[in-house]
Structure 1
């Protein structure tokens, strides 16, 4: 049995400002709706450097001391897609939107009123929990199944 596999690495970041979270109204057809900003880790780039770079590119903000708060993963052809989940509460700069989508501060209390991506609630549950660290999908009997742990 082969012990290695292909992996695609990405990052997402939950930027909080008190009771507000910065969300991106994502325009791409795959994973459409309000979600957290993020992107791909480039070859040779550290995960922390990737999340700092991606937040600057997609939000205009410089984030400081991002904290790794979980991992999301799911199978892809020939391997898996791995998303390193970060949280940042220290930042500077002015919010700008990108061609990925419009950025908007949203109160946690309003999240149920907006059109978020399909697994947003589970994603936040993992990222805001002291007891959870992984959100993964498996394919069982041809069906996608979400597992939080």
Structure 2
């Protein structure tokens, strides 16, 4: 099972996202965990690799199971661990290997193109200020077939 970590990095009333070239969707900085790595170590490493920033004290705020029947065996099910922080150091890189970095106003988060599963995470963490535990079943285009969410 693949495991992915990512982080919503907040600066004032904005959040840092990556505009991914494949679909033009905005995504949270992050990526695949390495063998033996903790989710905490992974999110710090992944964010630094993609943004140049070192996040400080990220809080685990969402855990989601993702299933995709049309995917290869290794990607039929994976876990996504989303953190949130408003503390970081360093300088944002001019170019990220994963896409275009952009500070998005939180007030506009519901209107940007993003994966439907990410929209649930954004709303829970940024708008409702709640933790999210979820299961998302995706089709071959990463659209939702079904989902279950629990906000706390």
Shorter-chain TM-score tier: 0.7 to 0.9
CA RMSD of aligned residues (A): 2.1
**1:87-126, aligned counterparts within 5 Å?**
87-96=84-93, 97-126=95-124
Distance 1:132-1:49 versus aligned 2 partners, 3 A rule: closer
2:125 to 124, 127, 132: 127
Q: Deviations over 1:26-45 (max 9, x none)?
A: 1235xx41111110010001
Structure whose residues are more often strand by fraction: 1
Q: TM-score, normalised by structure 1?
A: 0.81
Closer, same or farther: CA 41–109 of 1 in aligned 2, 3 Å: same
What's 1:3 paired with?
none
1:41-80 Cα offsets, whole Å, 9 max, x none, are 1000111010000000001101111100011112254762
Partners of 2:111 and 2:132 lie apart in 1 by 26
**CA distance 1:116–1:74, shift in 2 (3 Å):** closer
Distance in 2 between the 1:137 and 1:118 partners? 9
How many residues are treated as equivalent by the alignment? Answer: 138
Task: Say yes or no: does 1:20 pair with 2:21.
Answer: no
Structure number, greater radius of gyration: 1
Q: Secondary structure at the match of 2:115?
A: coil
1:33 aligns with 25
1: CA distance, partners of 2:119 / 2:18:
15
CA deviation vs aligned residue, 1:99-118 (integer Å, no higher than 9, x gap)? 21010111112234432333
Q: Is the 8 A contact 1:73 1:81 kept in 2?
A: yes
- In the other structure, the counterpart of 1:86 is 83
TM-score of the pair, normalised by structure 2: 0.80
Q: Unaligned 5+ residue runs, structure 2?
A: 139-143
Q: Offset at 1:131?
A: 4.6
Structure 1 pair 131–25 and aligned structure 2 pair: CA distance change class (3 A): closer
